């Protein structure tokens, strides 16, 4: 009887049917943007269809599992859209990004009360994303319930770059406004707007210059992030204690206001070991389109913190479909011919990931400012550049930066190796960001 039942069930399966593909939510035998949109819509729910890691919730862990499925089966990715290919005879004309590659609306926590209204009529850019899911530019002016601060032009102070590296003149009068929820902090400044999440994925969820039609940030992953932190621990199986801070929930930031701008301090206590504290501080300049992100480790554990390591954004996860160029202080890399962007190039190569550029830094022979990078986006006839520079490296014994491309995202990070910390000691790394635009 059991054998007969098995034979009946087998007869119901179509001959030659493909086995289910993990992460193929719309069952079209491809892992593509359509599946990613379905997963993003389910974030925060307990829908078992999207719970790829089996932890009874749909969150960032399932996103990374979906990425793992893509990397394990790159043949399931669709072929590059011909609309993403630039004609050799007209490299700057008629190049279009396929609709499936348009930036999606950033994931905002459910309790976020900040709305993202449409552009005011007098600041509509020449090119806007055409997708219905695309995000409109945050307003140039803050909402009425925000705290507005209009300072006089101050003297320089805090973590800043030398004047020789600053292409912008201070704006006067400068202003900024801060609006916060339990999970999101939005800051409107004179020349740019920034949104930070203290829930996973932790980091900068949105960053745009005034009038910029496309975001610098990947729709689902942040920039300015603190991805990995670890230190040596012989008691651990791998010989080290480690944590992915990108996937952790942080407390809402402490907000420090001053005449020149605002500082947002995010902290976590007792990380991996009681008495170990980590902090990410964003120093936002209200007068220029630039800011600094400072990453600090403090040791009050009563034990030696052996050779800490951090992987942080430099700038992080950029908006891949719009990126036309990445660079270090030494080299520049553009998408290989005939591709218009790095997303199309990655799909065509059908590998899990590959290195675009890398720059190594030697603290014995180089100043921190020698380690530099940039990501350039193009929307229509406008370029938008996000440049990063290492500006502080207390206790750093070695580092490198790398731009790495994948079929789903482009990652640009700083890999920092620090000296061991005794009781009461701290180590800090700071990355300076400059936003600019041009033709």
DSSP code per residue over 7-26: HHHHHTSPTTPPPP-TT-TT
pLDDT at position 124 over 60: no
Q: What is the pLDDT of residues 141-167, one digit of tens each?
A: 343 334 443 333 333 333 333 333 444
| Look-up of token digits 């001053």 | 258
Does an H or E element contain 243, and which? strand 240-244
CA atoms within 13 A on the CB side of 260: 16
pLDDT at position 55 over 90: no
Determine contact, residues 326/374, Cβ cutoff 8 Å. yes
Determine contact, residues 389/372, Cβ cutoff 8 Å. yes
**φ, ψ at 35 (rounded to 5°):** -65, -40
Determine contact, residues 432/290, Cβ cutoff 8 Å. yes
Residues ≥6 apart with Cβ < 8 Å to 357: 326, 327, 328, 331, 333, 402, 403
Q: What is the pLDDT of residues 402-424, one digit of tens each?
A: 999 998 899 999 999 999 999 99
Q: How far apart are CA 335 and CA 133, in angstroms?
A: 26
Q: How far apart are CA 354 and CA 405, in angstroms?
A: 6
- Distance (Å) of CA 137 to CA 116, 191, 224, 263: 7, 13, 20, 23
pLDDT at position 78 over 60: no
Nearest CA to 99 out of 130, 77, 126 is that of: 130
pLDDT at position 17 over 60: no
Q: The sheet that has 203-209: what strands, in order across it?
A: 147-149, 176-180, 184-189, 192-197, 203-209
- Distance (Å) of CA 270 to CA 277, 421, 425: 6, 15, 15
The b-or-e profile of 184-199 (16+ CB within 10 A means b, else e) is: bbbbbbbbbbbbbbbb
Band of the pLDDT at 6, cuts 50, 70, 90? very low
Tell me what pLDDT residue 103 has.
31
Tally of residues, the chain:
439
pLDDT at position 329 over 50: yes
Tell me what pLDDT residue 42 has.
79
pTM: 0.69
pLDDT at position 18 over 90: no
Residues ≥6 apart with Cβ < 8 Å to 368: 361, 389, 390, 391, 392, 393, 396
Q: How far apart are CA 205 and CA 194, in angstroms?
A: 8
Band of the pLDDT at 298, cuts 50, 70, 90? very high
Residues ≥6 apart with Cβ < 8 Å to 323: 341, 342, 375, 376, 377, 410
Determine contact, residues 259/272, Cβ cutoff 8 Å. no
| Look-up of token digits 């890691």 | 53
Domains of the chain with bracketed CATH: 2-78 (1.10.1330.10), 99-438 (2.70.98)
Q: How many CB atoms lie within 10 A of CB 431?
A: 26
| Residue 387 structure tokens | 């440049």
Q: How many CB atoms lie within 10 A of CB 359?
A: 19
């Amino acid at each position: 009887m059991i054998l007969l039942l098995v034979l009946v069930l087998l007869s119901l399966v179509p001959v030659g049917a493909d086995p289910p593909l993990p992460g193929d939510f719309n069952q079209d035998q491809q892992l593509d943007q359509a599946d990613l949109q379905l997963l993003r819509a389910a974030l925060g729910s307990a829908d078992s269809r999207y719970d790829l890691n089996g932890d009874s919730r749909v969150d960032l862990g399932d996103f990374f599992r979906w990425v793992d499925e893509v990397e394990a089966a790159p043949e399931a990715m669709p072929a590059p859209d011909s609309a993403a290919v630039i004609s050799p005879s007209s490299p700057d004309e008629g190049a279009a990004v396929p609709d499936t590659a348009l930036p999606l609306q950033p994931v905002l926590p459910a309790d976020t009360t900040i709305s993202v209204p449409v552009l005011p009529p007098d600041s509509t850019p020449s090119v806007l994303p055409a997708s219905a899911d695309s995000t409109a530019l945050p307003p140039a002016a803050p909402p009425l319930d925000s705290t507005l601060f209009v300072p006089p032009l101050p003297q320089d102070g805090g973590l800043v770059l030398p004047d020789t590296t600053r292409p912008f003149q201070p704006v006067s009068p400068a202003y900024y406004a801060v609006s916060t929820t339990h999970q999101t902090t939005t800051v409107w400044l004179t020349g740019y707007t920034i949104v930070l999440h203290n829930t996973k994925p932790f980091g900068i969820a949105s960053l745009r210059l005034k009038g910029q039609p496309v975001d610098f940030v990947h729709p689902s992953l942040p920039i300015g992030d603190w991805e990995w932190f670890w230190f040596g621990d012989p008691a651990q199986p791998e010989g080290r204690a480690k944590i992915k801070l990108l996937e952790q929930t942080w407390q809402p930031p402490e907000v420090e206001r001053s005449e020149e701008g605002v500082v947002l301090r995010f902290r976590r206590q007792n990380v991996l070991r009681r008495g170990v504290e980590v902090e990410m501080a964003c120093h936002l300049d209200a007068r220029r389109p630039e800011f600094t992100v400072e990453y600090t480790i403090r040791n009050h554990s009563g034990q030696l913190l052996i050779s800490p390591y951090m992987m942080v954004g430099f700038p992080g996860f950029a908006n891949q479909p719009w990126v036309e160029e990445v660079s270090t202080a030494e080299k520049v890399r553009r998408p290989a011919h005939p591709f218009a962007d790095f997303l199309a190039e990655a799909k065509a190569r059908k590998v899990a990931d590959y290195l675009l550029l890398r720059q190594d830094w030697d603290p014995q022979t180089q100043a921190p400012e020698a380690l530099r990078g940039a990501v350039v986006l193009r929307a229509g006839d406008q370029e938008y550049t996000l440049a990063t520079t290492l500006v502080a490296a207390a206790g750093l014994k070695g580092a490198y930066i790398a731009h790495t491309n994948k079929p789903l995202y482009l990652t640009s990070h700083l890999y920092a190796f620090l000296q061991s910390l005794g009781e009461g000691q701290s180590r800090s790394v700071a990355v300076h960001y400059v936003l600019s635009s041009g033709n």
